[in-house]
Amino acid sequence: MKSLRIHADLVLNNGIVYTADGEGRKAEAVAVSRDRIVCVGSDHEMKPFIGSNTEVIDLAGRTVLPGFHDAHLHPVLGGLDFNGCSLAGIETLESCLDTIRTYARSHPELPVIRGSGWIHDGFPPQGPDRIHLDRIVPDRPVMLKAVDGHSLWVNSMVLEAAGITGSTPDPPGGLIERYAASMEPSGTLREWSAMKLAEDLYPPATLQERTAGMRLFMEEAGRLGIVAVHDAMVDEDILETYAALHRSGRLLLRTSASILCEPGMDSREFSRLVQMSREFHHRLLKPRSVKIFLDGVIEGHTAFLIRPYADRPNFRGEPLWAEDEFRRTVEKLDRQGFQVHIHAIGDGAVRMALDGFEHAASVNGLRDSRHQIVHLDLCHPDDIPRFRKLGVVANFQPAWFYEEDHSEAVTLRMLGKARYAQLYRIRSFLESGAVVACGSDWPFSGRFATFNPLTAIRTGVTRLAVEGGSRKVFIPEERVDLEDMIVCHTRNCAYASFDEKVSGSIETGKQADLVVLDRNLLESDPLEIHETRILLTLFEGKTLFRDPAL
């Protein structure tokens, strides 16, 4: 009887196939037919799938992994930054100013100079000064976001246009930095409520600019082995960007998304949020999540702590939401079936988020919500077991898990020794049984603004910076095994986005989302993980990137 078995389009054999299937299984080979994985096993088991039109690639001992997922980043916003003024990795004020000056001179056609990436420790505690920008760009507005996205450096032209003066009160949850002597604004705006005072003055990027930036992002994502992302803060414009790419057949990433929800949302705005979630939903875009910012960042003293800052004994930060309104909102979102994605840096914000989820479950019943808390820089030890109990996903950014040269002067000073030693406790979360997913938060992804998963994996394994930073391993007991870090960037991310049945692991019947590496990663020197090159990226069987060496 003639076999009905389908011949594969592609067979990858003689390799190390790490399946990330939850059992740690490995294989030698994998076969792909159209968009699906049709066999995972030994080289011998591939023979029936090889026909006259099957491409067979001898991996020669190289590694195959599931395609990487990024569980928290901002692709459209970051795509726009490809054409902006990048200050990523620049250490000094003088170098920042040289870069800004050069960018402004080379872009005389731009009505507004925009960019991002400046680092907090390059400036005084009150942040960078408008006077420096006034001297080099006196004739156009300048708006530059910090590397974490929670502070905005502006020149005097922006402050004047926004009507921000010494008598302007700080907006709720925000801060206008001021000169101590005069109380006039000094040029740094902290948190979204203050940043919006300036950003809302100027026209947003056009659909054409957004789609162009997103195409640049997807090209780079393919080179880095990324097949799925979670856009962590979208509005209608950003959702329309994805929809336009999808209509043109150019959306080449599986995308989930969180729609921004801010305090004070009325019933009409809530109805629109629900409508957007349904209107923009399609196979490759699922905006089923809602983003809530509960606090800011430690460096700006805007993270919400359980106990006061060590350097400000009477101040522990303030949550961006009143607790009663936050609980009611989470309860309402949960009842509507939304996944809630909460930014929480300080241990006070993390506890407040968990309390909100616990309240929603007590009212609505515990369901498979897969709510997420993201960043988790500082979490009280008593709260770690609550993640598993409540089914909350812990969403970490491992590329941050190292000690910078300034960490003791800035972060240690702010938190004190005991809390400093509790930062980024990812291994503790894994050992507690919590589901841990990982993302980059790009373009707000640290000093070097990268979304390379292998850089994050290397940092999570070693707790050392890829370059620069301290040579001391940062909290060594929180280092994570390589295989666990791979799962946190693949299978667990797929779970966090409700995609574990189609992606995130190499199993027969799943979508062919695969990456081929240039070496046996499982036997590599941990300090060299970030040097690994991607040779092939497949998304649903389609080639996103292929190195000529393969």
Q: What is the pLDDT along the chain (550 residues), one digit of tens a residue?
A: 344 568 999 999 999 999 999 999 999 999 999 999 999 999 999 999 999 999 999 999 999 999 999 999 999 999 988 888 988 878 789 999 999 999 999 999 999 999 888 887 778 888 899 999 999 999 999 999 988 888 999 999 999 999 999 999 999 888 999 999 999 999 999 988 899 999 889 888 899 999 999 999 999 999 999 999 999 999 999 999 999 999 999 999 999 999 999 999 999 999 999 999 999 999 999 999 999 999 999 988 999 999 999 999 999 999 999 999 999 999 999 999 999 999 999 999 999 999 999 999 999 999 999 999 999 999 999 999 999 999 999 999 999 999 987 777 789 999 999 999 999 999 999 999 999 999 999 988 666 678 999 999 999 999 999 987 678 999 999 999 999 999 999 999 999 999 999 999 999 999 999 999 999 999 999 999 999 999 999 999 999 999 998 9
pLDDT of residue 402: 93
pLDDT of residue 2: 45
Strand partners, 144: 115, 153
pLDDT of residue 217: 96
Do 187 and 216 lie in a common domain?
no
Do 396 and 540 lie in a common domain?
no
Do 194 and 214 lie in a common domain?
no
β 534-539/514-517 pair status: antiparallel
Note whether residue 393 is domain-resident: yes
Note whether residue 269 is domain-resident: yes
Do 213 and 124 lie in a common domain?
no
188: domain CATH number is 3.10.310.70
Q: What is the reported pTM?
A: 0.90
Note whether residue 29 is domain-resident: yes
* Alpha-carbon gap, residue 306 to 379, rounded angstroms: 10
Chosen domain end from 199, 234, 256: 199
pLDDT of residue 1: 37
pLDDT of residue 4: 55
Q: Let me know: does 151 contact 127? Beta carbons within 8 Å.
A: yes
CA atoms within 13 A on the CB side of 93: 13
pLDDT of residue 15: 98
pLDDT of residue 117: 83
* Alpha-carbon gap, residue 456 to 451, rounded angstroms: 8
Do 522 and 406 lie in a common domain?
no
Instruction: Tell me how many domains the chain contains.
Output: 3
How far, in whole angstroms, is CA 451 from its chain's centroid?
Answer: 8
| 3-class SS of residue 478 | helix
476 CB neighbour count, 10 Å cutoff: 11
Chosen domain end from 167, 199, 231: 199
Q: Domain of residue 183: give its range.
A: 112-199
223 CB neighbour count, 10 Å cutoff: 15
Do 473 and 523 lie in a common domain?
no
* Alpha-carbon gap, residue 512 to 10, rounded angstroms: 10
pLDDT of residue 448: 62
**346: exposed, middle or buried (Cβ count in 10 Å: 0-12, 13-18, 19+):** buried
